[in-house]
Amino acid sequence: MSEVRGVDELIRGLVRDIADYPKPGILFKDITPLLGDPEGFTRTVDALGAPWQNSQPRIDKVVGIEARGFILAAPVALALGAGFVPVRKAGKLPGQTFSQSYALEYGEETLEVHRDAFAPGERVLVVDDVLATGGTVDATASLIRAAGAQIVGVSVLLELTFLEPRARLGDLPLHSLLPV
Ligand code: AMP
């Protein structure tokens, strides 16, 4: 009988550490080997959506954060029978937007979402690749609320636990496939 590996073990084997990218002192988690592996990609998408597969009421929209979040969030949206909404860097969305700025380790970032991306009260899941300080997800949660929807959870592939991102997310349900 062939051994069935856990998705955490698959991810551990297929995510590559790149030192000092994009800046000295950052250990970059490169997910491209995982995306290039059919079993790794499929099982990652399944696992990211699994806790919300039978949620009642259902998930209406899955939000992906530019850019790697798009690659994971779009197939999760299809798997859940939900729509997909992009949260993008400033100036990339063509329609009217809500904006949220937040501090990065170095400098500042601004994220945007279309003002009409959600119907009032829609239930939203956020999907991203790496949860580091939690600032990006926190800003995304603010955008979702500003646009009149309800964020019901967050699914990430990797959680950098030493940066304590959970503290930033309060009581928002967080599903991380591999805490490291
Ligand atoms: P943060 O706002 O600190 O939680 O950072 C999360 C965002 O930055 C995510 O969209 C990640 O794609 C990216 N990110 C942060 N740290 C890393 C890392 N060590 N490796 C890869 N991506 C990262």
pLDDT digits (tens, 9 = 90+) for 85-96: 999 999 999 999
How far is the C-alpha of 42 from the C-alpha of 144, rounded, in Å? 27
pLDDT of residue 104: 85
Catalytic, out of 5, 9, 58, 105: 105
Domain presence at residue 68: yes
For the chain, how many structural domains are there in total? Answer: 1
Radius of gyration of the chain (CA): 16
Domain presence at residue 31: yes
The CATH number for 126's domain is: 3.40.50.2020
* Interval between CA 2 and ligand 1 midpoint (Å): 35
**What parts of the chain have a pLDDT lower than 50?**
1-2
Domain presence at residue 2: no
CB-facing half-sphere around the CA of 14: CA atoms within 13 A: 23
pLDDT tens profile 102-125: 998 778 999 999 999 999 999 999
Residue 68 annotated among the catalytic residues of the structure: yes
* Interval between CA 131 and ligand 1 midpoint (Å): 6
How far is the C-alpha of 146 from the C-alpha of 149, rounded, in Å? 8
Instruction: Give the residue numbers spanning the domain of 156.
Output: 7-179
pLDDT of residue 1: 45
Domain presence at residue 127: yes
3-state DSSP assignment of residue 37:
coil
Question: In which residue are the tokens 């899955």 written?
Answer: 62
Provide the whole-model pTM.
0.96
- Determine if ligand 1 sits within 6 Å of the CB of residue 65: yes
Where on the phi/psi map is residue 164: left (φ > 0), alpha (ψ -120 to 50), or beta?
left
**Contact criterion met (CB below 8 Å) for 57 and 78:** no
Domain presence at residue 1: no
pLDDT of residue 3: 60
Domain presence at residue 22: yes
Domain presence at residue 130: yes
pLDDT of residue 107: 81
* Cβ neighbours for 13, distance < 8 A, ≥ 6 positions apart: none
